[in-house]
């Protein structure tokens, strides 16, 4: 099983085409027998984890069998070509994780830990309780700033299905150990993780680690992550 994450950025003044694509892409993606699961998502301002949407930047996550990794319906590819979008595409092998998305283990049954210690992609997503929106968003900026300066951090994008409520972050780290140092040993981050459970911020959540297989294209004029052979 392979996950493909495409982050696409539309030229200035064409953000409306990205917004429209969120509706138009659903049918060809749903009809595709090569895609087992997909999500069309928006991004926060400048691609960050922010409450303000970035109307130029959008995301498509899909899951396929290995033989069809990176498959995109013809209509989707033609749309992106027509509007001259910039695309950064990642192919990812899910290796560890827990939780559900729309009530399903969309990446299959994964172990919580493996022996893999190389470069790693992290997807965290959650459906936030309406009563906890204020608590959740009040902690976002501090954690995002800490992550950006953490040792081993490469890049991240804030993505989501529903603004403010169904949110996700995808980040890349140079190694799993460096990701662990941030996640579990940085006091502020560890305290927020603890609060999410104690105060029941989420109605559903998921945490998945990936082995990056391929990184291609560009975003804002550069390749955010290069896989070193």
Domain ranges within the chain, ordered by starting residue: 2-217
With 0-12 / 13-18 / 19 or more C-beta atoms within 10 angstroms meaning exposed / middle / buried, residue 134 is exposed
C-alpha 146/C-alpha 99 separation (Å) is 25
Domain 2-217 is in which class? alpha beta
- Is pLDDT above 70 for 68? no
pLDDT of residue 52: 78
Contact 125, 206 (CB under 8 A): yes
Beta strand spans in the chain (E): 2-9, 37-44, 53-64, 86-99, 120-128, 153-162, 166-173, 202-217
C-alpha 6/C-alpha 164 separation (Å) is 21
* Percentage of the residues of the chain whose pLDDT score is greater than 90: 48
Instruction: Give the number of other CB atoms < 10 A from CB of residue 79.
Output: 20
pLDDT of residue 202: 84
* Percentage of the residues of the chain whose pLDDT score is greater than 70: 90
C-alpha 174/C-alpha 64 separation (Å) is 25
Q: What is the mean pLDDT of residues 28-51?
A: 85
pLDDT band at 71; cut points 50, 70, 90: confident
């Amino acid at each position: 099983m392979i996950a493909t994450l495409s982050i696409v950025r539309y030229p200035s003044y064409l953000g409306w085409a990205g917004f429209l694509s969120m509706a138009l892409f659903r049918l060809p993606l749903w009809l595709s027998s090569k895609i087992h699961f997909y999500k069309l998502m928006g991004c926060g301002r400048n691609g960050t984890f922010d409450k303000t949407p970035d109307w130029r930047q959008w995301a498509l996550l899909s899951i396929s069998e290995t033989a069809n990794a990176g498959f995109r319906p013809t209509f989707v590819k033609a749309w992106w070509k027509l509007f001259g979008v910039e695309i950064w595409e990642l192919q990812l092998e899910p290796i560890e994780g827990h939780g559900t998305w729309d009530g399903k283990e969309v990446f299959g049954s994964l172990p919580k830990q493996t022996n893999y210690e190389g470069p790693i992609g992290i997807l965290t997503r959650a459906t936030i309780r309406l009563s906890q929106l204020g608590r959740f968003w009040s902690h976002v900026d501090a954690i995002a700033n800490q992550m950006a300066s953490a040792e081993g951090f490469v890049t991240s994008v804030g993505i989501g299905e529903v603004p403010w409520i169904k949110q996700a972050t995808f980040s890349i780290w140079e190694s799993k150990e460096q990701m662990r140092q941030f996640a579990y040993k940085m006091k502020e981050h560890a305290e927020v993780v603890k609060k999410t459970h104690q105060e029941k911020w989420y109605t559903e959540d998921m945490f998945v680690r990936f082995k990056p297989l391929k990184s291609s294209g560009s975003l804002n004029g550069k390749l955010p992550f290069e896989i070193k052979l």
